[in-house]
Amino acid sequence: MNITVRYFANMRDRMGRAEDSVAVDGETITVEELWGRVSPQQTLPANVLIAVNMEYTDASRALKNGDEVAFFPPVTGG
Amino acid sequence: MNITVRYFANMRDRMGRAEDSVAVDGETITVEELWGRVSPQQTLPANVLIAVNMEYTDASRALKNGDEVAFFPPVTGG
Amino acid sequence: MKVIVQEGLFDPYQVTRDYEARCLPVGKHGAVVTFVGTMRDFNDGHNVSAMFLEHYPGMTERHIEAVCQEAAEKWDVIDALVLHRHGDISVSEPIVLVAVWSAHRAHAFDACRYIINYLKERAPFWKREATTQGHQRWVEHNTEDPGVNSQGTKQKTA
Amino acid sequence: MKVIVQEGLFDPYQVTRDYEARCLPVGKHGAVVTFVGTMRDFNDGHNVSAMFLEHYPGMTERHIEAVCQEAAEKWDVIDALVLHRHGDISVSEPIVLVAVWSAHRAHAFDACRYIINYLKERAPFWKREATTQGHQRWVEHNTEDPGVNSQGTKQKTA
Residues of chain A with pLDDT > 90, as a percent, come to: 91
- Is residue A40 a part of any domain in this protein? yes
Asked if the model's pLDDT at residue C19 lies above 70, the reply is yes
pLDDT band at D158 (very low <50, low <70, confident <90, very high): very low
Residues with Cβ within 8 Å of D80's Cβ and at least 6 positions away in sequence, in order, are: D1, D2, D68, D71, D72, D98, D99, D100, D101, D111, D115
Q: What is the pTM of this model?
A: 0.92
Contact flag D34-C29 (C-beta cutoff 8 Å): no
Residue D60: its chain A contacts at CB < 8 A?
77
Q: How large a percentage of chain A has pLDDT more than 70?
A: 100
* CATH number of the domain where residue D104 is located: 3.90.1170.40
The parent domain of residue D52 ranges over 2-136
Q: Look up residue C45 and give its DSSP letter.
A: T
Average pLDDT, chain A: 95
Interface test with C, best of B14, B55, B57, B75 (most C CBs within 10 A): B75
Residue of D9, D14, D23, D35 to mutate when probing chain C, most C C-beta within 10 A: D35
Quick one: pLDDT at residue C155? 42
Give tens-digit pLDDT for D97-147.
999 999 999 999 999 999 999 999 999 999 999 888 888 999 988 766 765
Cα dihedral C140, C143, C145, C150, rounded to 10, equals: 150
Q: Are D127 and D99 in contact (CB under 8 A)?
A: no
Whole-number average pLDDT of chain B = 95
Which member of C76, C150, C152 has the closest CB to residue D106? C150
| pLDDT, position C73 | 98
pLDDT over 60 at C16, yes or no: yes
Tally the domains of chain B: 1
**pLDDT confidence tier of residue C146, bands split at 50, 70 and 90:** low
Residue-wise pLDDT for D21-52, tens only, equals: 999 999 999 999 999 999 998 887 788 889 99
Report the DSSP beta bridge partners of residue D118: none
Span B42-56, average pLDDT: 95
Q: pLDDT confidence of C141, banded at 50, 70, 90?
A: confident
Q: Is it the case that residue B65 has pLDDT exceeding 80?
A: yes
Q: Measured between CA atoms, how close is C121 to chain D, in angstroms?
A: 14
Position C38 in a domain? yes
Over residues A32-65, the pLDDT tens digits come to 999 999 999 999 999 999 999 999 999 999 999 9
A78 inside domain: no
Of C85, C92, C94, C89, whose CA–CA distance to C123 is shortest? C85
**Candidate from C56, C95, C140 with C-beta closest to B78:** C95
Answer yes or no: do D41 and C28 touch at CB < 8 A: yes
Confidence of residue C147 (pLDDT cuts 50, 70, 90): low
Structural domain contains residue B78: no
Q: How far apart are CA D50 and CA B46, in angstroms?
A: 60
C43 lies in some domain: yes
d(CA A53, CA A70): 8
Whether residue C54 is predicted with pLDDT greater than 80 in this model: the reply is yes
pLDDT at residue number C156 = 37
**D25 in a structural domain:** yes
Touching check for B48 and chain C: CB below 8 Å?
no
Number of domains in chain D: 1
Q: Output the pLDDT for position D146.
A: 65
Question: Which residues in B lie closer than 8 A to residue C57 (C-beta atoms)?
Answer: none
Residue of A nearest to D113 (CA): A78
Question: How far is Cα C109 from Cα C34, in angstroms, rounded to an integer?
Answer: 8
Instruction: Report the residue from B8, B13, B74 with minimal CB separation from C56.
Output: B8
Low-confidence winner among A72-76, C89-93, C144-148, D43-47 (lowest mean pLDDT)? C144-148
Domain encompassing residue A32? 2-72
Is residue C151 predicted with pLDDT exceeding 90? no
In this complex, is the C-beta atom of C155 within 8 Å of any C-beta atom belonging to chain D?
no
Q: Answer whether residue D76 shows pLDDT above 60.
A: yes
Residues 6+ apart with CB under 8 A from C97: C10, C12, C15, C16, C34, C35, C36, C37, C81, C82, C83, C84
Q: Are D127 and D139 in contact (CB under 8 A)?
A: yes
* D153 domain residue, yes or no: no
D156 or B45, greater pLDDT: B45
CB A15 within 8 A of CB A21: no
Q: Mean pLDDT highest for which of A19-28, C39-48, C50-59? A: C50-59
Query: Among partner residues C120, C128, C138, which is closest to B77 by beta-carbon distance?
Result: C120
